[in-house]
Copies of this chain bind each other. A is one copy, B any other.
């Protein structure tokens, strides 16, 4: 029961005040607003503080000020799962950049006992950035109940809450255009990871929906026959390397083999590049690949990956900015982050 540490009887502001012969307020000022007391008393206080090993209790300070100086990033899955995807680290980097600048800490949050609303109720943070919002999520109510500001990433652009995203639908359409324009018909689509295992059936990813819509639009534009459409393959995929690699091997071993894959995350493309090499297939001659993300580390892929380039760092940073705005009293607003299709060498004409 943590007795070891409590046994030290943490020295408090009261004790220091007594020892220094001043009031608690004076001590408080010494630590937070030194200008308001004389240099003499300041020095005396700090001197004794050092001697008896005093430092203010952060939690008590938070209770009194109502400011945790911490923001949370709320993920739909445990940290241990979600961080398998390198894309997430970039998002965190972006958020972290502003946190560091503003002196905020960043807390990683995930559903408490599987329910995300619990986390929203219990986290000691000033605001949150939330990912993977389900279309029908009740999480918005939870936030409203706590009167807590938050910003979503990759959720609904036209909702009343703050959102940061890219134009998934039109980018997805363009990406699909490339495949279809180059004659590909036997195409494999890799899903984004289900949001939570036990909720797998009821997950409604807004991003995934938008991308699907874009694909559909492209398909319609190209007047594919029913027969063509029936050649599409849909595959469930995770977002860490090993499973993607296995999945890719499976797909590439199919008979007939698809001529191209539409990945929803670079890490999936990694799997296909690696699997192709293992099977003696070459990209793009034997197999074409397109993807979403275009991580900086993906530059290692040869030939270069044709992909939707989205700057995850920028998205994180932008979300953090919108949150800080709200923390300063501004109203929620949404932002569309620029993204583009980068054509490199991973698609062949067939």
Contact = CB atoms under 8 A, between A and B. Distances in A.
A145 B53 contact: yes
A107 B110 contact: no
A109 interface: yes
A93 B86 CA distance: 12
Nearest to A327: B2
26 contacts: A1-B329, A55-B121, A55-B122, A58-B121, A60-B63, A72-B105, A78-B97, A79-B92, A79-B99, A80-B97, A80-B313, A83-B90, A84-B93, A86-B86, A92-B108, A96-B108, A100-B110, A105-B107, A105-B108, A105-B123, A107-B107, A108-B108, A241-B299, A242-B296, A242-B299, A274-B299
Interface residues of A, number: 76
A107 B70 contact: yes
Contacts of A122: 55, 58
Contacts of A279: none
Interface of A: 1-6, 8, 10, 53, 55-56, 58-60, 62-63, 66-68, 70, 72, 78-80, 83-84, 86, 88-90, 92-97, 99-100, 103, 105-110, 112-113, 121-124, 145-149, 240-242, 245, 267, 270, 273-274, 277, 296-297, 299-302, 313, 326-329
A58 B68 CA distance: 11
A100 B124 contact: no
A69 to B, nearest CB: 8
A240 B296 contact: yes
Nearest to A105: B107
Given A78-B100, A80-B96, A296-B240, A148 B108 contact: no
A72 B112 CA distance: 18
A103 B112 contact: yes
Contact of A68 (B56, B59, B60, B110): B59
Contact of A297 (B86, B107, B148, B149): B86
Which of A8, A59, A110, A327: most chain B Cβ within 10 A? Answer: A59
A109 B105 contact: yes
Given A2-B66, A79-B99, 20 more contacts: A1-B329, A2-B328, A5-B147, A5-B149, A10-B147, A53-B145, A58-B123, A59-B124, A60-B63, A68-B124, A80-B313, A83-B90, A83-B92, A86-B297, A89-B89, A96-B108, A106-B108, A108-B108, A241-B299, A241-B300
Contacts of A1: 329
